[in-house]
Structure formats: structure tokens, C-alpha cells
Structure 1
Amino acid sequence: MNHNTPLSPRPLHHLSDVQRRVLTSAQLRSHGVTAAEANGQCRPGGPWQQVLPGVFLLHPGPPTSEERLHAVLLYAARSPAPGTAQTIPAQPGAQEPHAPQPYAEALITGLAALTLHGFSSAPPLPSLDRIDVLVPRLRRLRSTGCARIVRAPSLPGGSWITGVPVAPVPRALADAVAELSDAGAVRRLLTEAVRGGHCDPAAVVRELTQARLLSRPHVVDAVDALLAEGRAIAEQRLYRMVREHGLPDPVWNVDLRLPGGPHLGGLDAYWPEQAVALELDTRAPRQDEDALWSEYARKREHLERLGITVVHITPRKLRDSAEQQATVVRTALMASNDREPAAYVVVLPR
């Protein structure tokens, strides 16, 4: 028997090429190869090799990056019942595999996942000594060889990229950052996540908070840069929304005050004639979120008592449904004719 010899008459058409080269001991047994025969093929100079416990590569020579990914998944995945295929919680728009996949309860995460998501600031797969794989917390597995086990209470919704299940960007970022001490590398990854449109800053900060990474100074610095980057991008989208959807020009980035009275707060856009204010909600889920939200709520209530309509828009809504948000603003502007005149306020540049 060698690596070119068919394992058994059982058809393999449901497997991809790489899945025919990387098989578990259980899969080999299902094709009539005993443990003794598999071990015999892996002797020095033999045609096969064992790359991880219970996972065999059916050719000599170093594994490719694709083979390493599949080997790590096979090692970490829960063995499915015979005749069943894996399903993973899918994100909206995520593509499902076209063939059965033996990767139950396992997702590629960390730097390898970011590379698969297309991050230019993540290292190429061949340069990674270890590949992070996310599994449920109660799975009894240990890191070994090129597989590093990362645990989660439950698996997040993933997506299929090049035939492997991959964790969503925010989770992959948190798992990557947990292993990085280079402040520059952390900042580049977080910045690309937002600048490249992979996810919103709030989603990243939420994952970093849950992973208890915000106690690390270099991560906090990177998050501050991330939030600034996210706000700048959201502001650009807001300008574009006003321009492309034919809204009247507001005054941008202003402070409101009562004549001779207190400061009412800053706004991203304000239409004085219609007394409509717009505020970008760029809060991130951090420890002071409740206090910050209370401040937002107090400012909104105060302005509305003065007859000023306040529209809150999140960066995600601007990104995903700009036309709908423009309709919300237009409706508020048109409704101003049916309201009592607002109190006079002083508008100052911010």
C-alpha cells in the first residue's frame, strides 16, 4: 500500500482534494485501513506521515498551508456521526459548503483566520508556526504540534472561506491580540479591521473586553486609535449620505448653548431652520458604557424639551443602510413644519 493506492472501494467523491490527502485514523478505518497499517505507512521513509495525533498526511514531504489548516480542524473537531455533515452557525451572507465537512465544533481563529479574511497586516499562512482553532470550552483537547486550542463558552457564527470554517473577524482579532505583545502589530490589525470594512469598532471592543485584554496598555492604546479611525470613517459616510441623498446642508460639528446659559452639548450635524440635530453614536462597549449612555440620554432629553429633534445614527447603520438613514433624517426635517417652534439656541463651531 502507498499513497497512490486507493484506500478502499468506498467512494471519495464527497471529499475535496485536500480532504483526500489529510485523513483521521477514524476515516482511514472506515476505508479499511487498520491502525497498524496506518502506522506502518508512517515509518521513516514511508509514503505517509502523522502530522497531529490521529491525523495523517497521505504523502511524504512538508504539508501545504491548506493541508495544515485541514489537519488542525480534523484534530480539534468533534467526530460526527457516520453519514452526517457538519453545520456551523452562519453569519448573514456566509456561504455554506457545497459538500459534507467533518469539522463539527471547530473554527479557525487568530492570525490564520485574519489571513483567510484577507488582512494584509496578518502574516502569510506558511510563516505561522501554530494555527489557532476555536472549540467549545468543555472539549477535552490540548495544544500540540501546529494546533493551538482556544476555548469559548460557545462557538460564534462563522463563515466558510476556501473550504474551511473561520471565526468572525472580531473574535479572530481578540484571539490574535491575546498572543501579541507588539503594539504596532496590534494597532495595524485593529485599524485594518475598521478601515477595510470588516467590522465596526464596537464589535472589536466588545470582544476585547470579554477576553479581558483592555488591561494591557498597548491594547488600550490601539483601541483608542481604532475608535478614532472608526469615527473618522463614520463622519465621511455621514457627509456622503447627506450629499448623495439630496439632504439640505447642515452646519457641521457644532456646539449648542442657551443664550447666556449652559452648554447643551456637541452635535455632528444641525439644521437650524428645522431644529433637527444629528449625532453619531460611536460609543464602544467599555466599562463606563452605562455612564456614557446616561450622558447621551440626558443630552437628548434636554434638547427635545427645547423642541429640538435628535436623530441618532450608528456607524453600522450608515455603512449598511445609508438610504434608510437619509429617509429618517428627511422625515424629521419635513416634520418640523408641524411642531411648535423650538427654543432659540446659540450655535457655535466645535
Structure 2
Amino acid sequence: MERGTWDRVDGELWKHSRFGVVRASLLEALGISQTTTYRQCQPGGRWRHLLPGVVLLTRSLPTARQRIEAALTFAKHEAVITGFQAARLYGLRTGPDPQFVHLLIPHESRVLSSGFAVLERTRFLPKAKCRDGVPLAPPTRAVLDGVRRIRELDAVRALLIESVQSGLTDVDSLRGELDVGTKRGTALPRRVLDEIGLGVRSVAEADTLEIWHQAGLPTPHRNVVIVDADGAYIGMPDTWCDEVGLAWEIDSNEFHYSKDTYARTLERNSRYASVGISVVQTLPSRLRTKPDAVIAELRAAYAAAQARTRPAVSIKTTGAT
């Protein structure tokens, strides 16, 4: 090919690409020899080799979208994006940054993983949901495909909690997917779903639940509304032990306590005291730096609450006025 013609050629080739990503076989069909493609993907060339048989029509590092297109091009037809990359495209922001593009492909496919494209064969290929032209596994499947590949409890908690709170999926759907899918890497997700089922809404709340159980106390309620004998609002404790009327509050504003926040905390504690509710207050930093001390405090508070008459309060039932 003559010098000086590449700008025109690149412009024509770009029209046949997806965001600049194209198969080497298509380039050959368009008149670019294999030798030329190989040379242009070498140092000093105009293009970049991304995956076997897949070329980027620029020397710049590929964007996230170009990596996705390259992986889909490499995996061929029917592949869908799943895992953390799909979670990002669904709008979720917690969990690890995608280090690779995870794809589901039909079980009969013989394409193997390569580079940043991780291909997982499945007999139960889900129907794709398209976001911005990208075929994605359904949210429930995508999220679980991501978390079952990691062993960091906090990361699993963060992504599953966000996926449920955002309304993208729900606990029942996640449990159902775990029951019918592979059992590999499901222990942590099942544990986190149990926590969410008890009302946990953040990683910090999961820490409190774990410490509570280590203290050997009865299964608690999370974020429930407590009312007095007349139905008047008393509070919504982070953790509530209904057996003895014990509230556990995690006061998260330990470094930036505003006057308004402090005033609301005093008002809350006054309402607890007025009806005889025992309350334990803990700074979130102590959950991990001094868990044994927190456990001892909870046990002592529970014993004291058990020794006195339980206050005449109750959990507000759904629909009650």
C-alpha cells in the first residue's frame, strides 16, 4: 500500500468496525493482507492487537467499551457480558473494578479464554438484556457471576447490598439463582443474603450483625420502628433485641458531629430512657479495632436488661398507624 493513503484507509475501515474494533479476517476480506495487518500491529504500526484475530484500529490503549467489543468479537455469536463488567453497565458502583471482561458462551462453543476475555461455557445461557447495544446477562445472574469469583467478604457484601437496595434484583431472585446455578463460590453470597434477609443495609451493619452473633445473643431485628403502649413513635434502632427491650445504635458521625446531629441523638436517647429501653452506643471504628470490648459491652447490657422488667414497647407492624 502506498504511503500517505492510510488516513483514507483507516477512515473506510472504521466504518466496518465496532468502536474501532474489527476482526482480522474482515480486514482481509476488505483487501488488507494478513502480512499488512501483522505489521501494523507491531511497535511503530498504526493499529493494536487486542485478542487473537481481533484488532483495534488505533495505537491508543483500548477504552472499557472497546475491550467489551473486542471480547464479544472474539467470543463470536450469542455471547453475553456478565460479572462485574455487566454490573457496571447496569449502574452499580460498588465491588471491584473489572479487571477482565467476563462472558457467558454456549456450552458447545470451543472458544477458550484469552487475555482480558474470560469465557465461561454454560448449558443455561440466559436471554440477553441490551444496554447501550451491549448484550448483558440478567442483573441477578450478572451480579452472582461476579461475586462468586472473589473471596473478599466486604466486596461481596457491598455489591449484593447495592444490587438489592437499588431495586435491580431482590433476595429471593438471588437465592433462586444460587440454587439452580453452579455451587462453586456460593458460600459467601449465601452468607451475605442471610444478613440482608435480617435487614442489613451496609457493610458496617454487617459488621454489627457478626459481632452480635459472636456475643451469643438472640437473633436481633434490624431497623424496625419501636412504639410505646399507645403506638407513639420511640425510635428505629440499628439493632433491636425484642426479648429484653435492648437497642444498639452505631453512631457513625464520630468525627463530624454537627449540633443538629448531636441534638437528634440526645432526643432519641431521651425517648428511649422515658420508656425504659436500654441502649448501647458504639462508634463504628470500634467494630473492627476493639470487637472483644464491644462484645463484652453488649453481653453486660443484655444481662442488665434481662434483670429488669421489660419496657412496654413493641415493634410497629406493617400498616399500623
**Deviation of residue 227 (structure 1)?**
2.8
Identical residues among aligned pairs (%): 31
Q: For residues 193 and 229 of structure 1, do their structure 2 counterparts lie closer, same or farther at Cα, with a shift above 3 Å needed?
A: farther
Q: Give 2:125's aligned residue.
A: 155
Does residue 114 in structure 1 map to residue 87 in structure 2?
Answer: yes
- Verify: 1:57 aligned to 2:56, yes or no: yes
**2:126, 2:200 → 1: CA distance?**
23
* Structure 1: gaps spanning 5 or more residues: 78-103, 232-348
Q: Contact 2:96–2:155 (CA<8 Å) still a contact in 1?
A: no
Q: Can you list the C-alpha shifts for 1:207-264, whole angstroms capped at 9, x where unaligned?
A: 2223344875423211202333499xxxxxxxxxxxxxxxxxxxxxxxxxxxxxxxxx
Q: Does 1:172 align with 2:175?
A: no
Give the distance between the partners of 1:141 and 1:206, measured in 2 at CA: 29
Output the CA distance in 1 between the equivalents of 2:184 and 2:113. 25
Aligned-partner Cα distance in 2 for 1:170–1:205: 9
- Cα distance, 1:162 vs. partner? 2.3
2:9 — aligned with what?
6
Equivalent residues of 1:47, 1:59 under 8 A apart:
yes
Secondary structure at the aligned position of 1:132 is classed as: strand
Question: Any idea what SS the aligned residue of 1:135 has?
Answer: strand
SS of residue matched to 2:38: helix
1:106–1:144 distance in 2 versus 1, CA, 3 Å: same
User: 2: CA distance between counterparts of 1:196 and 1:217?
Assistant: 23
Q: CA 1:213–1:11 in 2, change beyond 3 Å: closer, same or farther? A: closer
Partner of 1:209: 179
Taking only aligned residues, the RMSD between alpha carbons, in angstroms, comes to: 3.0
| Secondary structure at the counterpart of residue 44 of structure 2 | coil
The one-letter code sitting in structure 2 at the alignment partner of 1:113 is A
Partner SS state of residue 138, structure 1: coil
1:222 aligns to what? 192
What are the residue-to-residue correspondences of 1:326-345 with 2, within 5 Å? none
Residue identity matched to 2:153: A
Distance 2:6 2:82 in 1: 31
Q: Could you say what secondary structure the match of 2:198 adopts?
A: helix
Query: 2:108 maps to which residue?
Result: 138
* Partner-residue secondary structure (3-state), 1:51: strand
Say if 1:194 and 1:200, in contact at 8 Å, map to a contact too: yes
Structure 2: any 5+ residue segments left out of the alignment? 202-315
Alignment CA distance shift 1:212-1:229 (3 Å): farther
Q: How does 1:314-325 map to 2 (within 5 A)?
A: none
Aligned counterpart, 2:72: 73
Give 1:11 shift: 9.5
Matched residue count: 202
Provide TM-score, normalisation by structure 2. Answer: 0.56
| Preserved contact between residue 21 and residue 55 of structure 2 (Cα < 8 Å) | yes
Which residue is equivalent to 2:24?
25
Q: CA deviation at 1:9?
A: 6.7
CA contact (8 A) 1:214 1:220 kept: no
Q: Is the 8 A contact 1:7 1:33 kept in 2?
A: no
